[in-house]
Amino acid sequence: MAVGFLYAIGFIISLCLALVLTPLVIKLAYKVGAIDKPNHRKVHTKIMPRLGGLGIYAAFVGGYFAIKPFLPEGLLRNYDNNLINAMLAGGTIIVIIGALDDRFELSAKVKLLGQIIAACVVVFGFGIKIDLLNIPFGETMQPVASWISIPLTILWIVGVTNAINLIDGLDGLAAGVSGIAIGTILVMAIFMGFTPVILLSAILLGGVIGFLVYNFHPAKIFMGDTGSLFLGFGLATLSMLGFKQVTMVSFVTPLLIIGVPLSDTFFAIVRRWINKRPIFAPDKGHLHHCLRELGYSHRRTVLIIYGIAAFFGLCAIFQAVIVQSDAANWITFAVICVLLFVLQIGAEFIGIVDKTRRPVLNFLQRVLLRTQQRSE
């Protein structure tokens, strides 16, 4: 049986499992009291079941073990098996923490501790860590010392896990953005021939798409922290593991893959710092909140952010392709500069940091005005 066919079968099995299991999770959420009640920060107006991530997780695990017996012998090396086991073990810990939070609303410190434990399982339990980096304008992949690689890996996993959690504010938003990022990783993994990441990405993507049938606006269930934390952990692990040992991919590629949640998190930190609010204090200044304030509908807001996520994904794939060329470093630098400029313009336009501070837009407006005056 062709390996590519097995990947497709794994995707289909996972998708079907998510379609079948999610309605059961809805009933379970109501039964155990894992529900989300409306308040001043939330856009929904009725009680909604959480725990939706349980359906994604079950579909992912079920899809993997369904096709595992049919994988050709020798397809996966020891490192590949460690990668897969790290994803399963760490993901299980994350799902347990998320499910408990969906039911009992754990404190931020307890959730953070659970995420750190899951990250430590990946690093110390299976020896998976960032040990090579492609530094811009460097000739080769540079080794990273253990005293740097271990905390860097843990910080990356915990940071990305929380970034997905922060954008989970509208029906289908976090699941869709995560699905686009997973799809990007899948395309790049196929391009590089990295078997374990192709396998895991295909199966995880199937679960996400199946869940979106029930989560897209108007949603019948929320993914809750069970889903947002699991998808964040999955993206952190796959984006790190898939490309850390491939010399033709620079260190910026994983950042591009998850550009939407990372940039939204960055702007949230800056916004709260400027307004002298606690960094972890929730607010209504995230990207989806700002777009809603501009008058976009719930569905259109989500689709706009999908488009932004897809743009980041295409930039990541482009980066992976061109980084093989002699001018790769300069092209990478140019891509980063353009993206940062576009992000700043977009952030000022929608007021994601501050509604009144628009330094770059004001500067461009003055330049345009002076140009018009000179032409007259």
The total of other beta-carbon atoms located within 10 Å of residue 31's CB is 9
Task: Determine which of 18-27, 214-223, 261-270 has the lowest per-residue pLDDT on average.
Answer: 261-270
pLDDT tens track for 123-134: 999 888 876 555
Domain parsing of the chain, residue ranges:
3-375
Do the Cβ atoms of 132 and 142 come closer than 8 Å? yes
Torsional sign, CA 325, 328, 334, 340:
positive
Amino acid at 114: G
At residue 28, φ and ψ (nearest 5 deg) are -65, -40
Average pLDDT of the chain is 84
Q: How many C-beta neighbours within 10 Å does residue 20 have?
A: 14
Main-chain dihedrals φ then ψ at residue 9, nearest 5 degrees: -65, -40
253/176 Cα distance (integer angstroms) = 20
User: Which of the four pLDDT bands, split at 50, 70 and 90, describes residue 136?
Assistant: very low
For residue 227, the model assigns a pLDDT of: 95
pLDDT at 62 over 70: yes
Q: Is the pLDDT of residue 172 over 80?
A: yes
Q: What is the pLDDT of residue 145?
A: 61
pLDDT at site 20: 97
- What does the H/E/C string look like for the chain? CCHHHHHHHHHHHHHHHHHHHHHHHHHHHHHHCCEECCCCCCCCCCCEECCCHHHHHHHHHHHHHHHHHHCCCCCCCHHHHHHHHHHHHHHHHHHHHHHHHHHHCCCHHHHHHHHHHHHHHHHHHHCCCCCEECCCCCCCCEECCHHHHHHHHHHHHHHHHHHHHHCCCCCCHHHHHHHHHHHHHHHHHHHHCCHHHHHHHHHHHHHHHHHHHHHCCCCCCCCHHHHHHHHHHHHHHHHHHCCCCCCCCCCCHHHHHCHHHHHHHHHHHHHHHHCCCCCCCCCCCCHHHHHHHCCCCHHHHHHHHHHHHHHHHHHHHHHHHHCCCCCHHHHHHHHHHHHHHHHHHHHHHHCCCCCCCCHHHHHHHHHHHHHHHHHC
> Would the pLDDT of 328 be above 80?
no
Out of 184-188, 207-211, 348-352, 354-358, the most confident range is 207-211
266 has a pLDDT exceeding 80: yes
Q: How far apart are CA 277 and CA 287, in angstroms?
A: 18
Inform me whether the pLDDT recorded for 324 exceeds 60: no
Whether residue 17 is predicted with pLDDT greater than 90 in this model: the reply is yes
Q: For position 261, what pLDDT does the model report?
A: 86
Mean pLDDT of 290-312: 90
Task: Pick the most confident of 55-64, 243-252, 328-337, 351-360.
Answer: 55-64
> pLDDT-based confidence at 323, cuts 50/70/90?
low
Q: Which burial class, exposed, middle or buried, applies to 371 when counting CB atoms under 10 A from its CB (0-12, 13-18, 19+)?
A: exposed
CB atoms within 10 A of CB 228: 28
Per-residue model confidence as pLDDT tens digits over 150-163: 898 899 899 989 88
Section 95-109 average pLDDT: 93
Q: Tell me: pLDDT of 88 over 70.
A: yes
- The answer to whether the beta carbons of residues 258 and 235 sit under 8 Å apart is yes
Q: For position 317, what pLDDT does the model report?
A: 83
Q: How much is the average pLDDT of 50-71? A: 94
Q: Which two tokens stand for residue 281?
A: 């204090």
Are 101 and 111 in contact, with CB atoms under 8 Å apart?
yes
Q: For residue range 201-255, what is the model confidence (pLDDT) as tens digits?
A: 999 999 999 999 999 988 999 999 999 999 999 998 888 754 444 433 455 677 7
Q: How far apart are CA 238 and CA 200, in angstroms?
A: 8
> Which amino acid appears at position 196 of this protein?
P
| Residue 337: band (very low, low, confident or very high) from pLDDT cuts 50, 70, 90 | confident
